[in-house]
Amino acid sequence: MIKVYLLHGIKTIDPGRSSISFFRHIMPRFHVVLLKYLYIPVMFSLIVPFINRRVVNRMVNEVWPDQILMGHSNGAAVAYGLTKKVKTRGLVLINPALDSDVEFDSHLEFIHVYWSHRDNIVWLSALMPFSLWGRMGKTGYIGKDPRVRQWEMPHRHTSIGTAEVAVRWGPVIVNNIEAALKSPG
């Protein structure tokens, strides 16, 4: 059974219910693991890029090779960092706080990006110096990697954790992962 590792964003108050933890309940064909890291208040955003490097180094041994990473916001930045250290099969980025033109590792079979023009939080994260943080959550991926498929969501940054948006987009995201796993190459 394929594992999907979920990585939450930084402003999650309740460690039992992160921004994307609902995926545990709607992915019966996968073994879903919620990877927890520090719950960082937004006022400490300036140090997050430095913390992320430590988080990635700590999580390397928790992630099995050839599995799937799914991250929301800063969790997308952590997931991206993990793909540099662990050969993962797929990467799902939801409202990613990442530069819009990052280069993805060649071992990834698929990269899915869910973004929103209404995501003003990641737009602000692009102002962070010396980090991978950027506007991908607001602009989508603008690079040339043919493995990237992306969808625009008409919601704000943290809306994926709300019941209304989760009911609409959760099954879409899961179906897209299943389709990517079935497609050749």
Mean pLDDT split into 10-residue runs, the chain, 185 residues: 89 57 84 80 65 88 95 92 96 94 96 92 69 86 96 82 81 95 80
pLDDT computed for residue 53 by the predictor: 85
pLDDT computed for residue 121 by the predictor: 76
CATH ID of 3-182, from 3.50.50.60, 3.40.50.1820, 3.40.50.150, 3.10.20.30: 3.40.50.1820
CB 139 within 8 A of CB 179: no
pLDDT computed for residue 132 by the predictor: 77
pLDDT computed for residue 180 by the predictor: 96
pLDDT computed for residue 34 by the predictor: 86
pLDDT computed for residue 124 by the predictor: 67
Domain boundaries, given as residue ranges, for the chain: 3-182
Euclidean distance between CA atoms 59 and 92, whole angstroms: 17
**How many other β-carbons are positioned within 10 Å of the β-carbon of residue 163?**
9
pLDDT computed for residue 179 by the predictor: 95
The CA dihedral of 173, 8, 91, 60, to the nearest 10 degrees, is: -150
122: amino acid identity, one letter: V
